[in-house]
Amino acid sequence: MSDEPDKIGPLKCVRLLDTFSDLIDKHVPDDPDTHGNRQLHLSDTLRVLMAAFFNPTARSLRLIELLSQKQRINERLGVRRVARSTLSDALAQFDPERIRPLIAHLRQQLPALQRIDRDLESITRQLIAADGSYFNLAGDVTWAMSCRRGNNPDHTQSRVRLNLQLNIDSLLPIDCDVSGAGDGSEAAAFMRRIHKDAVYIVDRNFNHFGFLRAVLEKGSSVVVRLRSDTHVEPLVDQPTRVLTGRDTELNIRTDRLVTLGTLLNTRHRRNGNPPTQTLREVVVWDEKNKTEIRLLTDILDVPAHVIGMLYQLRWQIELFLRWLKVFAAMEHLVSFSKNGVTIQFYVAVIACLLMYLNTGRRPGKYLLFEMQMIACGMSTPEEMSTSLARLDRERELAAARAKKKATEKALSKIEK
């Protein structure tokens, strides 16, 4: 293929569609049940969905069909066009598990990143934030969750839950699956895909004995916020741990060794017995909301404030899910089938991994905006680099101003 600007096609800056096509050929198996009259295969479906991800207006089957006929997209496909009815049928039939080897390959390419804070460097394992978030479907679907819209019980919306695992260091999704009606709680769904040698950072919805046991049995650790009605039993022969100056500075109230007792957790009995090993309860004071946050973990060999800092990092997944819905325009999904919904999310995961691997930048609204501008021919890679460098500089200056302001405030208190 020629390297002339008008011949490269969309996303010239990283040639993502070409890179993606090569990866598909290497890591996505051929259709196992190919028929003589089948023209649209999983490989072409993935290519057109990837192109649609970087064109946020293409969020319907009809618009994806139009996109597939554009020359720069169509020359990478094995069909003349991807008809919307054909795409709908294909999404329902293709097995999303065939895509997971490609995701695993891309995950292995991620470089080791330095921790944001030096205090966290003692945690050498992968930090994973896990959470579920709901996405709307375009119509009523029997397998989806039926949720009320507004205050009228007669108005309902079909939704699915994305069960997402996010690597906190890279801010990249490393795993996900989809839940519909009858799939149980978030915690139960995540038990299917626990990774080894990781630290899971989760919120109160994961107060689930089965989930805690699954994480610990996998050789991973957990930092979970406890519900107010989740009881712990302090070890009688272990006094409350002494807090350091840094602990007090970061609003740590108490630090003690505990166990989870079945008798005191009647609401969790249906989830089986609690873990039997010694755990740790760290209580943090939330000054903004004027409340205590109780954290439970099996990590015993780091200062208490590190546990508090780990839990604060959980908000990264909230920001990523907002980015996925608002800026990547994934709020409404194009498929009605569970296979199709899962494939669409897998394409989004792959796009995020490719964006990082080819630019060295974490996914965000500015990076996605610049790549969309290149995709539609309104910008160049050089302009993207200049714009992102300017944003980096603005962030550095803002951080320096904030640090200077905090130092001046601290000095004024000392003088008083």
Q: What is the pLDDT of residues 67-92, one digit of tens each?
A: 999 887 888 888 899 999 999 999 99
| pLDDT given at position 416 | 61
| pLDDT given at position 33 | 61
| pLDDT given at position 152 | 67
Check pLDDT > 70 for residue 297.
Answer: yes
Contact between 206 and 185 under an 8 Å Cβ cutoff? The reply is no
| pLDDT given at position 146 | 79
Contact between 207 and 281 under an 8 Å Cβ cutoff? The reply is no
Q: Which helix (H) or strand (E) holds 49?
A: helix 42-53
Separation of alpha carbons 397 and 207, rounded Å: 41
Least confident of 3-17, 217-231, 336-350, 362-376: 3-17
Check pLDDT > 50 for residue 2.
Answer: no
The model's confidence at residue 409, banded by pLDDT at 50, 70 and 90, is confident
How do the domains of the chain map onto residue ranges?
A: 5-101+335-388, 112-318
As a residue count, the chain comes to 416
Helices (H), 168-314: 186-190, 209-217, 245-249, 304-312
The model's confidence at residue 38, banded by pLDDT at 50, 70 and 90, is low
The model's confidence at residue 35, banded by pLDDT at 50, 70 and 90, is low
Which residues pair with residue 291 across a beta bridge?
286
| pLDDT given at position 185 | 86
pLDDT: is 102 or 54 the higher one?
A: 102
β-pairing, 279-286 with 252-260? antiparallel
Check pLDDT > 70 for residue 276.
Answer: yes
Percentage, residues of the chain above pLDDT 90: 36
Average pLDDT (250-278) is: 79
- CA 179, 185, 187, 192 dihedral sign is negative
Per-residue b or e along 52-91, where b marks 16 or more CB atoms closer than 10 Å to that residue's CB: bbbbeebbebeebbebbeeebbbebbeeebbbbebbbebb
Check pLDDT > 80 for residue 100.
Answer: yes
Check pLDDT > 50 for residue 221.
Answer: yes
Question: Which residue in the block uniquely carries the two structure tokens 């970061």?
Answer: 250
| pLDDT given at position 383 | 81
Separation of alpha carbons 32 and 97, rounded Å: 13
- The closest alpha carbon to 354, from 106, 8, 177, belongs to 106
CB atoms under 10 Å from CB of 409, counted, come to 9
Question: Which residue in the block uniquely carries the two structure tokens 């490609």?
Answer: 102
Least confident of 149-158, 185-194, 224-233, 249-258: 149-158
Check pLDDT > 70 for residue 151.
Answer: no
pLDDT: is 152 or 97 the higher one?
A: 97
Check pLDDT > 80 for residue 323.
Answer: yes
> What mean pLDDT value characterizes the chain?
83
| pLDDT given at position 279 | 95
3-state SS assignment for residue 140 = coil
Q: At residue 129, what are phi and psi to the nearest 5 degrees?
A: -95, 130
Check pLDDT > 90 for residue 164.
Answer: yes
Q: Please give the model's pTM, rounded to 2 decimal places.
A: 0.81
| pLDDT given at position 309 | 93
| pLDDT given at position 41 | 87
| pLDDT given at position 5 | 38
| pLDDT given at position 116 | 61
Percentage, residues of the chain above pLDDT 70: 86
